[in-house]
Chain A
């Protein structure tokens, strides 16, 4: 069955770089787009960027200078790297598959930016 699972550190120090992995199963990264979205505590959803099925990427312009998304199709993994983290980057980070809407989501990983 289709599954996505985010993994990464729960705590990151200010100014450091966040690295997250989305490991997928039940579908191919070359057939579906995978998005990253985040949600600060008690707040709404913010789209961060996408790994298109053809390997191209698009980013939220507000984050573009700090954000990089890549993938390893052989391992069915999509990676997110975001630099220069600040306290306002504290959020739950999700990856989600797109199929006329985001039909499958990971459980999310809570990332706290604090010294």
Chain B
């Protein structure tokens, strides 16, 4: 089973700052990493899929990088509407596993 270690657990940022979230996997997953945003009371929303691919309709402020075992999710120029919990998920092998989440708060 691939373990996904996500950090930090929480962030408090000001509008306009840059956000970086790290996910490290216990096995090599190529670039089979997905990133989700979950707002309070809602289902998660897919932002970036395998191959660091930005999903249609997702602002280009969101991006990711990484291959193998180390991955980084970035939000440039963070906005108030970006508040929520961000999860990484590896889709290379079963069982699919998630990071524990990063709670993003805006000051």
Which A residues are within 8 Å of any B CB, using their own CB? Answer: 35, 44-47, 50, 58, 60-61, 94, 96, 98, 100-103, 105-108
Q: Take A45-B87, A106-B43 as given contacts and tell me if A60 and B98 are in contact as well, using a CB distance cutoff of 8 Å.
A: no
Chain A residue at minimum C-beta to C-beta distance from B51: A100
Chain B residue at minimum C-beta to C-beta distance from A60: B95
B80 within 8 A of A: no
Q: Closest 9 interchain pairs by CB?
A: A101-B49, A105-B43, A101-B34, A47-B96, A100-B49, A45-B98, A101-B46, A58-B94, A60-B95
Give B55-107 interface residues, CB cut-off 8 Å to A.
55, 87, 89, 91, 94-101
- Residue pair A107, B94 in contact (C-beta under 8 Å): no
Q: Take A100-B50, A102-B46 as given contacts and tell me if A35 and B95 are in contact as well, using a CB distance cutoff of 8 Å.
A: no
- Residue pair A100, B53 in contact (C-beta under 8 Å): yes
- Residue pair B98, A47 in contact (C-beta under 8 Å): yes
Interface of A is mostly: strand
Chain B residue at minimum C-beta to C-beta distance from A105: B43
Interface of B is mostly: loop
In the docked arrangement, what's the CA distance between A96 and B53, Å? 19
- Residue pair B46, A44 in contact (C-beta under 8 Å): no
Nearest CB of chain B from residue A59's CB, rounded to whole Å: 8
In the docked arrangement, what's the CA distance between A86 and B96, Å? 23
In the docked arrangement, what's the CA distance between A92 and B97, Å? 17
- Residue pair B98, A94 in contact (C-beta under 8 Å): no
In the docked arrangement, what's the CA distance between A104 and B101, Å? 19
Chain B residue at minimum C-beta to C-beta distance from A99: B49
CB-CB < 8 A to B34: which residues of A?
Answer: 101-102
Nearest CB of chain B from residue A62's CB, rounded to whole Å: 8
CB-CB < 8 A to A47: which residues of B?
Answer: 95-98
- Residue pair A44, B101 in contact (C-beta under 8 Å): yes
